[in-house]
Amino acid sequence: MARVLITGSADGLGLLAARHLIGEGHEVTLHARSEERAREAAAAAPGAADSLAGDLSSLAGVRALAAQADATGRFDAVIHNAAIGDREPRRAVTEDGLPAVLAVNVLAPYLLTVSLTRPGRLVFLSSGMHHGGDPGLADPQWTDRPWNGSRAYADSKLYDTALAFAFARRWPDVPSNAVDPGWVPTRMGGPGAPDDLEEGYRTQTWLAVSDDPAATASGRYLHHRAERAPLPAVRDPAFQDRLLELCARLTGVRPPA
């Protein structure tokens, strides 16, 4: 039995992954952005060990979530599933003065990871759209560029993919991988999404708990359990380190040594 924390597990792929792992006998901790949503998540995933609330758009909310989660013990795996999609019509800003897409999709998984007792495995949800992200890191907060929700999302998924590779390099004892779940018919993906919903969550649950040697390898970008080639910048240690420094500067927490 593995202890697994899944962010954003009140609905969509996070909830489906939680139900699957619970059905296999694993100890799953759910997460939602509010107490009300956390209760809804618990009702939707009977048998979950816990359901925690934490607003990932807030740095204080992420720290509080990390403290709550850590108090329950070390996790064998963390699945960073929570995200804001690509249809944001404007540059929404959080209470910390950060673009919400950057805060939720990138800074939250970074800060949660470095704030928890080091977990056994890490799974970062990426997207095929990361190939359209900007590896220049010239304007990650979109203060100079005209806002484009789709491109901001692509940037965030590029950063998520690079974080998976950065942690794989810095923590060689912790398998860390990025997963493209495909364009699946969730609330974020929309009802017309053509990809397989079950395959959309199976890769992350497999990476989280399987003893299959292919599941315990590290530093990969996968789609439906098959390794795919990420944008080349993802594999560049210099780009990874620049991204980690950005995350450290914006969150106030240094990256892992």
DSSP class per residue in the chain: --EEEETT-SSHHHHHHHHHHHHTT-EEEEEESSHHHHHHHHHHSTT-SEEEE--TTSHHHHHHHHHHHHHT---SEEEE-----S---S--B-TTSSBHHHIIIIIHHHHHHHHSSPPS-EEEE--GGGGGS-TT-S-TT-SSSPP-HHHHHHHHHHHHHHHHHHHHHH-TTS-EEEE---S-SSTTT-TT--S-HHHHHHHHHHHHH---TTTS--SEEEETTEEE---GGGG-HHHHHHHHHHHHHHHS-PPP-
More confident residue, 239 or 191: 239
More confident residue, 197 or 136: 136
Catalytic residue among 110, 157, 201, 221: 157
Residues sharing a CB contact under 8 Å with residue 172, sequence separation 6 or more, in sequence order: 218
Catalytic residue among 153, 159, 201, 221: 153
CA distance 187 to 15: 12
CA distance 251 to 96: 10
**Annotated catalytic, 201?**
no
Of the given ranges (116-130, 194-208, 243-257), which has the lowest mean pLDDT? Answer: 194-208
Topology (CATH level 3) of domain 3-251: Rossmann fold (3.40.50)
Of the given ranges (1-5, 50-54, 82-86, 195-199), which has the lowest mean pLDDT? Answer: 195-199
Tens digit of each residue's pLDDT (9 = 90 or more) over 67-92: 999 999 999 999 999 999 878 899 99
CA distance 51 to 24: 18
Average pLDDT over residues 94-112: 98
Tally of CB atoms within 10 A around 192: 7
- The pLDDT value recorded for residue 194 is 47
**Annotated catalytic, 153?**
yes
Tens digit of each residue's pLDDT (9 = 90 or more) over 169-189: 999 999 999 999 965 455 554
Vertex 103: Cα angle to 121 and 50 (nearest 5): 50
Through-space distance between the first and last CA atoms of the chain, rounded to whole angstroms: 30
- The pLDDT value recorded for residue 87 is 80
**Torsion on CA atoms 132, 200, 246, 54, rounded to nearest 10:** 140
Tens digit of each residue's pLDDT (9 = 90 or more) over 19-39: 999 999 999 999 999 999 999
Beta strands 220-223; 226-228: pairing state: antiparallel
